[in-house]
Structure 1
């Protein structure tokens, strides 16, 4: 079964209010109509009893002939429309009614049969006598054991009154329905304004970037909407308290991150000098010309190698710390076409066991930025493809210019047909210290900082970085805004 679709609260309240008022109007209208109908029927029944008494008095002790007109309907006091009929031995033999001219037209055979079929008794009841006469309220008055007279009064006045009442009730109900709908909409909208302001505050917070940087979470629900006497006020107050806790947590996180960044930056600065000294002394010892045992020479070589690797790590950490601090990079024209060709050429020289392809335009593609850092970005991506794919892997570097979100960008894609990235790691590859080889042995020599530097440098240039991967096809993609003169 599909999930029931929820209606907006405003619409639900308006519909509920209008439905309740409509139901109330319908009940009131029906009660009014049936009550009036009952009152008018009781009144016509009393009039009918009086008319029957006058008719019986007019007939007197004599027995009407079966073929004579029932003259008693024209007796003094009878109203226009009064009906009279004679029933002998259960058969209605003749009948007439008093018209506007005070004449007494006879009832048709069909109307007589209708009267007879109803078996009119001494209690008033309604009878339909065709379209010409309509509904009548009739009653039988026995004269003797064989003969009855039937007396009736028309119901058209009652029916007309009821019809008018139904029309009035319908018009009033429709008007009330429209007014209630407009009023309910206005009232609900006015009542829900505090909730809308609370929603606006929550929406504003939901669009803020809270996962990084120094976040100034100053958004709060207005004080007027935090009254604990109202339901919305309690929600607003709870949201403000929650935002206060979140703000404190973000500030604590930022202070912690700032301490870590300062530590990394300071440690990187401090480590550069002793690392340079270690490397220098090792090189000096190796170049002294004195005879050194083989195991000592091997140890000195390892010291040089590891000091160079540690220096690279320190430089990467220092670069990330500077990017975190928001320090500006160089801002000069950079030909991305030339940069891509140079980077692929260096990668081809470093790893001849891979197949390196380039797909770039012949003309220069210019961006504004730091040439050295952008070259490092491409080299890091190519090195990542070299380290994490086997020999014989085809690595293609492509450069294209197109529109992205309304801006002209240079897009660099580096794709390979290697084994791909573990699906559990795809979303985390640009985080720091995330390595494809997760073991402590670092068999690939990776520090887990290369792709973090890629993202940091690209972001600092106003670009974006992304990756998609599946077995046999991994694509790293970066976009950089073009210089205005190079826009397509």
Structure 2
């Protein structure tokens, strides 16, 4: 069984209001109809008793026999439609009624049978005498142990009155429903306007980018919608209080991030000089001309290697810090076709145990940007494929143009793929698809962060799709018109 679709509050309130008014109108209408019917029946019962008394009085001491006719209905004072019948030994032997011309047509056999079947007694009751006469209210008056007369009055006046009342109640109820529905919709809409403004404020905040950068969270619920004496006002006050806390938290986070960035930037600047000195002194020692023991020579080589590695890490951190600060990169025409071919050639020379394939358009693909940084982006993607895939892996680099304004560079490999646990954070800093810290397989976790930062600084996007046997990195850059 499927779950019920939730309804908007406005529709629910209007529907509930209309339903309540409909139920109230139905109850009032039914009570009115039944009350009027009861009153009219009591009134006609009194008239029926009087008519029966007049009929009995008009007969005097003349007790009718088994072949008598109901002449008593023509007595003075009887109204049009009055019905009379003679019952002898519990069998109705004759019956008639007064028509519009005050004549007394006899009841036919079906009408007599209908009257006989009701076994009319001393208490007034209703009986249906067919389509011609309709419903009657009848009562029996005993004249002797064997003879009694039945007197009845028609109910068509009451039925007509009740029908007119039902029609009037239906029309009034329908009009009331239409008016109440329109009024309820307008009232609910007017009442919910503050809630809509609160929702608009919350929606505006939900569409803001709050996960990075200096966020100025100035959106608040309007003051007129924060009256704590109303339900919506309490919600608006709570949201404003929450937004104030969020704003303070975002400011604290940004202040902390700014401190970290300044520290990384300053530390990177400060580390460049001692690292250059370490490397320089190691090289100077090698060039001194003195005979150096093998173990010392090996140690000097390791010092040079590690200082170069440390310098590369410092340069990467410094680049990321500059990107975070929003510093402008070089702005020149860059031919991506030539750049991609050069980067693949370098990768092929560095890792001959992989199969490198490249596809680029025959014509130049020009973008505006920093040639060195864009080259670093492609080189980092190729290095990522080289480091995290085994020998013999096919790495395919493709440059294409989408539409008239986007250049797309994709680097695909048929290696083992990226762990699903890190696929969503692969472009974050210090995230590594391989937990190894070995020099041959490990990485600093900064390469893909630099890719995303540089691409974003050029107005582009970066993405990755990966599964066992297929990993594809894509970057998209705007083309010079």
Normalising TM by the smaller chain, what interval? over 0.9
1:268-314 Cα distance to aligned partner (Å, 9 max, x none): 11111221122122212211222111112111111111111111111
Aligned twin of 1:434 = 431
35-44 or 232-241, which moves further after superposition?
A: 232-241
- Check conservation: 2:68, 2:86, Cα contact below 8 A: no
Is structure 2 residue 441 aligned with structure 1 residue 444? yes
1:81-129 Cα distance to aligned partner (Å, 9 max, x none): 0001111111111111111111111111110111111111110000000
Q: How far did residue 439 of structure 1 move?
A: 4.0
Aligned twin of 1:460 = 457
Q: How many aligned positions are there?
A: 481
Q: How far did residue 372 of structure 1 move?
A: 1.1
Secondary structure, aligned partner of 1:137: strand
1:153-196 Cα distance to aligned partner (Å, 9 max, x none): 00000000000111111111111111111111111111111111
Q: Write the mapping of 1:310-321 to structure 2, written as runs, cut at 5 A.
A: 310-321=310-321
- Check conservation: 1:33, 1:166, Cα contact below 8 A: yes
Is structure 2 residue 475 aligned with structure 1 residue 478? yes
- Check conservation: 2:142, 2:148, Cα contact below 8 A: yes
Mapped to 2, the partners of 1:25 and 1:439 lie a distance apart of: 78
- Check conservation: 2:134, 2:154, Cα contact below 8 A: yes
63-72 or 301-310, which moves further after superposition?
A: 63-72
Aligned twin of 2:6 = 6
Q: How far did residue 151 of structure 1 move?
A: 0.4
Aligned twin of 1:157 = 157
Mapped to 1, the partners of 2:128 and 2:30 lie a distance apart of: 23
Q: How far did residue 445 of structure 1 move?
A: 4.5
Secondary structure, aligned partner of 1:130: coil
Secondary structure, aligned partner of 2:307: helix
Secondary structure, aligned partner of 1:240: helix
Mapped to 1, the partners of 2:442 and 2:85 lie a distance apart of: 120
- Check conservation: 2:461, 2:477, Cα contact below 8 A: yes
- Check conservation: 1:331, 1:370, Cα contact below 8 A: yes
RMSD: 1.3
1:1-27 Cα distance to aligned partner (Å, 9 max, x none): 433322111111111111111111111
Q: Write the mapping of 1:156-195 to structure 2, written as runs, cut at 5 A.
A: 156-195=156-195
- Check conservation: 2:410, 2:475, Cα contact below 8 A: yes
- Check conservation: 1:331, 1:368, Cα contact below 8 A: yes
Aligned twin of 2:226 = 226
Gaps spanning 5+ residues in structure 2: where?
A: none
- Check conservation: 1:84, 1:150, Cα contact below 8 A: yes
Q: How far did residue 441 of structure 1 move?
A: 4.2
- Check conservation: 1:437, 1:443, Cα contact below 8 A: no
Aligned with residue 424 of structure 1, among 404, 421, 424? 421
Per the alignment, do residues 301 and 442 of structure 1 end up closer, same or farther by CA in structure 2, a change over 3 Å counting? Answer: closer
- Check conservation: 2:65, 2:88, Cα contact below 8 A: no
Mapped to 2, the partners of 1:428 and 1:319 lie a distance apart of: 20
Aligned twin of 1:82 = 82
Mapped to 1, the partners of 2:284 and 2:98 lie a distance apart of: 142
1:438-486 Cα distance to aligned partner (Å, 9 max, x none): 24445424111000000001111111111111111111111111222xx
Secondary structure, aligned partner of 1:438: coil
Aligned twin of 1:23 = 23
